[in-house]
Structures are given as C-alpha cells and as structure tokens.
A and B are shown apart, each in its own frame.
Chain A
C-alpha cells in the first residue's frame, strides 16, 4: 500500500515537473506525449522529439509568421497521465496539435480528449485499429501503421509461403488482442487455420512456458502478437528451446531497434511489416543518415513517421492559412502527402493515413553487408490493400456500398 502511494506520488511529481510554461499567443504549439523512459522509449521517445525538431527546422522554424514550439511529456504508459497532460496543454498552453507516441491504451484515452477539445491528434506509435474505428474522432489521424495493415502484411505473406496453421503469443492488453484478431481474420480469409492463442501478461519475465504451449499446438506458425522487449524475449526463448526449428515465427510488430537488440543471428528469416525502412531509396537513406548523425541509431518507422507527421501538419496549416482545428483537418483530408515517408499518401474520412507498407524479411548475418542492413523487401503493399476498405465502424465514415 505504501509502495502504491509512493508510486502515485512519484508519478504525479514527475508529471508536474515535465512542463509548465505558457507560450505566447503568437506561437504554434506542437505537443508530443510518449513513453520517454519505459519499455517503448527507444521506438520513438526522445529520439522522436529530435525528429520533430528536425522537421520544424526543415520547415523553416516558423509557419504563418509564427514561431513553432514543442512541448513534450512522458506518459509512462499510463492512460490517465496521457489524457490529463493533453487536456492541460489544450486548456492552458494553447496546444495546436498533439502527436501521440507508443501505447494503444494511452492513445485511446488521448483520442477522447482530442474529440472534446477539438485538437488535431496524430497517432504515431500506437497500433490499435480501433482508433479509426470504434474510437475514432473527427480530429484523429492514424499516421504510421495499424493492426490491420500489420496483419495484412505479415499474415498474408506467411500464409502464402505455406504457413497455414497459426498459434498466437498475445500481449494481454488492447494492442495484443486487436493485433491477434486482425491476424486471425487474415489467416482465415486466405484459407489458413487458427489453432489457438495464449495471453501473456505484459512484461512477463519468462516466455518459455507459453512457448511450449504454442509448440504443443502443432501449429506451423508462431504469431508473435506483442512488441518491444516482450517480442524480443519471446523470440530469444523460442530460439533457445529450439521451437524455431518446428515453428516459423512471424513478427506482427517489430522495429529495427528490436532487430538491433536481438542480433541477426537470432532474428534471421523473420517476416515483419513496416511503414518505413531507412534503406529503401535515396530519400529514406538521406533521412536515415541525417538521423543517425544525431542519434547514433537508424530511425524506426515511428521516428520517421513523427518527422513526416510534423511536416504534414505544418504544410496543412500553411495551406489553410490558419491553425483553426476544423479548417486544418479539412486541409489534411484534402492534401496528398509526399515526402521521404509516404508517396502519394492521403488521409481518409475515418482518419487512416493510407500509404504504402512493406513486408520484410530479416537478412541472415551473411547477407547483411553494413551496420543496420537488416531487411530485404518481400513485397510492397499498396496503401489500399494494406489498410483495407473503410469498415463503417467509425460513424464519420460510412462503409462503401
């Protein structure tokens, strides 16, 4: 009990210390609320803030003659902290747009605030597709990837390669179950079979028990419906127990930072889907190298995505000639997005940013020629295929007849 009080007090103090200035009225204020210190801190985190600053600098530092400032906060993977901070910035700091980092649970809580406070909200690092379905708002943009596109990419590729029967290792929260459901549907639609799943508490210390259950199912594919350290630790244990000899692992969400931590020896051959990879074309390479010079790591799809989202928002403000939320949202849904992240991307009525996604396979140590040379492109998925048709679950966007 004392510990809990302690945790809450500490959290409150940290949250209070994170920001607290009031910007002048002639500034455009961009907020970024993300996991800055926890398990997802490398996926976007502080390096993501650097990417936002890079985008602002590339845009010229001002828009409509107003200075652009950035507010950042650590949501510590707690939905209440994220939502409270968002509300506070909207009420007191003249927030114009919010960029939401990792964690589907936190982003769902923040999207409710976006709807009430009428502030454009770009979901960057959260995967849950409910953000543009049941939980959609007129101000939400789901920018980088979602559970639908991840499942469409990896599950389709695996079934096509002969992986017909699946067993899932699922992180036991909104993100994991949404990802598993999305993958299950794709597997069935392509004639495969789902043999079962085990729901693993977030941050489990040991995955071997769950993996043996997966192996006992006799399935051909081990669907890893988790992320970050959970993903890495489950793949590591699958290798150790020789499970990867009888089952083929499929990463439903993995970042280049995960592959970097695991090493190619462990990760080789793995299929995964990503919205960005630094080594795709001259534009991505140029961005990757600039980012590397600052951070000493190649950008994840979230870090590239948050850079692109910042630019896209600023372009929309410039085109609309105002920061008025409704006018900017109208411009965002009208414009085409072309930069190092997206080619001819566009934001649909339900908030999904439709753009090309890439099905990748992790290279073997022999195939990798230089640092961060991790993936070969298995398939480029056109945006419409990756994100699928509008479902009609979001009241703003009726399903096509």
Chain B
C-alpha cells in the first residue's frame, strides 16, 4: 500500500473524512457564535449549553412525546431558539453597551446553571439516542466504511452553513443585519426594528447550536456535559477564523476538524491541544484571525 511518512494513504483518507465530520460540528457551532458576536458583540459562553439543550430536546421529545428524529431536527432548534430569544429579551439586553466581560460572565453563568440543572434532573451518565432507521448502515468509500449517519452530518451541516452564509452576505435581510452591525442607531432611524432584529439573530445563532446538538445525539451519549468540552474548541475556531467573520468560522471549523483528525494519527495525545496551538500561531501572525478585518 502506498504511504506518506510511513502512514498508509487509506488511513490518512479515513482520518480526513472523520475530521470533516467533526469539522462540520465545529463549523455549525462557530457559525452561530460568529453571527451572535458580529451583531450583539456578546461572547456567547452559553453556546455549549444550547447545543446540549438541543440534544436533550430531541431525546425527551422522543421519550415523552414520541417525536421522531426528522421532526426533532426542525422542532428542537425552534424550541431552543425561542428559549434563546427569551434569554436575550430578559437578560442579555441589559448588558449591551457595558464592558464585554459582563456578557461573557452572564452567559458563562447561564451555561453553568443549565449544566447543573440537567445533571440534577437527569444525572450525569446520560442516555442513548438511536440512529434513525433510514440512516443506519454504512457506505464503502474504498478506503473505509463510513456510517451513513456521519455522511449525512457532513451533508446537512455544509448545506446549513452555506445557506446561512448566503442569507447574511447575499440577501436583503442579510444586508439589514450587516447594517445593524455597522450602525444600529442609523438603521433604527430608517424605521427598522433593531431590538427585534437583535433578538431574532440571537435566537437564530442559538438554534444553530441546538441543530448541531440534535445532529450529535445519535453519535454521542446525550448528557449534561456534552457541550462544555466542545464549546472551548469552538471558541478557538472562532478566534482563528476571525471574530465575527461568517465565512471564516465555516472554513476554519472544517479545516480544524481535519487538522485535529490528522493529529489523532500522528500524535493522538496532542489531539485536544492542536487547535489551541493553531490559535496561538494565528494570533501571533494575524491577530485579527484568518478572515478577520482590521
């Protein structure tokens, strides 16, 4: 078998594919963060908690109400998005205009409360969410067997990420959003309901996190801690992509998933730090991030 640096090509291709799956999650989560930071200037530390809530919404929906995976894919992000809007209206809007540290503290506190409550009610060990019957099985890629479900994750997250990008960069709604980022008072003077726009944006960003949570639930055990380890990596992804940059968050999410995947073959012990090494390097060489503006 052909090999590069002593590693068989098939193994490298396999790890690239798996890296892409993980990258899809990073992309979807960092996209939500970037959208929220871009408009609200809030570093949303509760993002991991909303991801967890999405997974729990799917799980409880199935167990209590018999809502299947496909419906959960739509309903769970909607429900969690509404929770996000309530949080924004009741709490978050009070810290706008203050030092960003306040928003960070508030969302971090919310994340702790959410995680603690879920542990209290549902325990720490979690539960399994079944893979939907239509997506069980695997496809033979020649170099590996890829479970159908993982292929589906890549497909849907690419679709969601690029349609979000399209909406923000290429439509009138997106233009309004971007205008609000540039100069909110002026936009309000034109008769646009800016507070509503802000609330909807936060809800939308949060819904993206919840969607990622639903997508993850058949892969990992649904438990209260599932979001907290992921969210730190996702923050690094956002910083690497450039805070608030939409395209940057998508591209760097996918690329870092792949980088992490390759690290898992070469030196597995470092696989949870490699993202932060890249972040340090990017901050030294390009402090605004790969896609950030000055």
- The answer for the CA separation of A42 and B122 in the assembled complex, in Å, is 10
CB distance from A375 to the nearest CB of B (A): 17
A210 in contact with B264 given A203-B229, A232-B221 (CB within 8 Å): yes
Is the C-beta of B132 less than 8 angstroms from some C-beta in chain A?
no
Quick check: B272 and A204 within 8 Å, CB to CB? yes
Quick check: B225 and A236 within 8 Å, CB to CB? no
- The answer for the CA separation of A236 and B144 in the assembled complex, in Å, is 18
A240 in contact with B131 given A38-B124, A204-B271 (CB within 8 Å): yes
- The answer for the CA separation of A206 and B261 in the assembled complex, in Å, is 10
CB distance from B123 to the nearest CB of A (A): 5
| Chain B hits for A198, CB < 8 A | 268
| Chain A hits for B11, CB < 8 A | 212-213, 216
Instruction: List 7 tightest A-B contacts by C-beta distance, closest first.
Output: A41-B124, A201-B272, A209-B264, A42-B125, A257-B125, A42-B124, A261-B125
Quick check: B119 and A41 within 8 Å, CB to CB? yes
Quick check: B125 and A260 within 8 Å, CB to CB? yes
| Chain B hits for A237, CB < 8 A | 219
The segment from B13-21, B195-203, B285-293 that touches chain A is B13-21
Contact with B along A229-246 (1 / 0, CB 8 A): 100110011001110000
Is the C-beta of A341 less than 8 angstroms from some C-beta in chain B?
no
Which residue on A lies nearest to B257, using beta carbons? A206
CB distance from B234 to the nearest CB of A (A): 10
Residue contacts A-B, CB under 8 angstroms, 25 given: A6-B104, A38-B225, A39-B124, A40-B124, A41-B124, A42-B124, A203-B229, A204-B271, A205-B229, A206-B219, A208-B150, A209-B18, A213-B268, A228-B125, A229-B125, A229-B221, A232-B221, A233-B220, A236-B221, A240-B147, A240-B149, A240-B219, A241-B145, A261-B125, A261-B223
CB distance from A372 to the nearest CB of B (A): 13
Is the C-beta of A37 less than 8 angstroms from some C-beta in chain B?
yes
Within 8 A of B (CB), among A65-82: none
CB distance from A38 to the nearest CB of B (A): 7
Contact with A along B11-42 (1 / 0, CB 8 A): 10011001101100100000000000000000
A205 in contact with B261 given A210-B268, A229-B126, A260-B125 (CB within 8 Å): no
CB distance from B58 to the nearest CB of A (A): 16
Is the C-beta of B192 less than 8 angstroms from some C-beta in chain A?
no
Quick check: A201 and B269 within 8 Å, CB to CB? yes
- The answer for the CA separation of A303 and B161 in the assembled complex, in Å, is 46
Is the C-beta of B105 less than 8 angstroms from some C-beta in chain A?
yes
Partner-B contacts on A (CB < 8 A): 2-3, 6, 10, 37-43, 45, 172, 198-201, 203-206, 208-210, 212-213, 216, 228-229, 232-233, 236-237, 240-242, 257-258, 260-263, 266, 297
Quick check: B18 and A263 within 8 Å, CB to CB? no
Known: A203-B225, A213-B265, A237-B219. 17 other contacts (CB 8 A): A3-B104, A38-B225, A41-B123, A200-B271, A205-B229, A208-B18, A209-B19, A209-B265, A210-B264, A216-B11, A232-B221, A233-B220, A236-B219, A236-B220, A242-B147, A263-B128, A297-B123
Quick check: B268 and A6 within 8 Å, CB to CB? no
Quick check: B125 and A266 within 8 Å, CB to CB? no
**Interchain CB contact (< 8 A) of A261 among B104, B128, B272:** B128
Q: Which of A43, A209, A237, A297 has the most CB of B within 10 A?
A: A209
Quick check: A236 and B128 within 8 Å, CB to CB? yes
| Chain A hits for B21, CB < 8 A | 206, 208
Q: How many residues of B contact A (CB 8 A)?
A: 43
Within 8 A of A (CB), among B101-151: 101, 104-105, 108, 112, 116, 119, 123-128, 131, 138, 144-145, 147, 149-150
- The answer for the CA separation of A209 and B229 in the assembled complex, in Å, is 18
Is the C-beta of B230 less than 8 angstroms from some C-beta in chain A?
yes
- The answer for the CA separation of A42 and B127 in the assembled complex, in Å, is 12
CB distance from B125 to the nearest CB of A (A): 4
- The answer for the CA separation of A100 and B265 in the assembled complex, in Å, is 36
Which residue on A lies nearest to B271, using beta carbons? A201
Quick check: A261 and B221 within 8 Å, CB to CB? yes
A212 in contact with B15 given A42-B125, A233-B221 (CB within 8 Å): yes
A229 in contact with B128 given A199-B269, A206-B22 (CB within 8 Å): no
Which residue on A lies nearest to B229, using beta carbons? A203
- The answer for the CA separation of A2 and B108 in the assembled complex, in Å, is 12
- The answer for the CA separation of A216 and B1 in the assembled complex, in Å, is 13
A212 in contact with B268 given A229-B125, A266-B128 (CB within 8 Å): no
- The answer for the CA separation of A85 and B213 in the assembled complex, in Å, is 36
A212 in contact with B18 given A37-B116, A240-B149, A242-B145 (CB within 8 Å): yes
A42 in contact with B264 given A204-B271, A240-B219 (CB within 8 Å): no
Which residue on B lies nearest to A202, using beta carbons? B272
- The answer for the CA separation of A317 and B86 in the assembled complex, in Å, is 56
| Chain A hits for B229, CB < 8 A | 203, 205
**Interchain CB contact (< 8 A) of B125 among A203, A205, A208, A258:** A258
Quick check: A6 and B108 within 8 Å, CB to CB? yes
Contact with A along B215-256 (1 / 0, CB 8 A): 000011101010001100100000000000000000000000
- The answer for the CA separation of A232 and B105 in the assembled complex, in Å, is 32
Which residue on A lies nearest to B128, using beta carbons? A263
- The answer for the CA separation of A3 and B109 in the assembled complex, in Å, is 12
Which residue on A lies nearest to B26, using beta carbons? A205
- The answer for the CA separation of A40 and B230 in the assembled complex, in Å, is 18
- The answer for the CA separation of A34 and B272 in the assembled complex, in Å, is 25
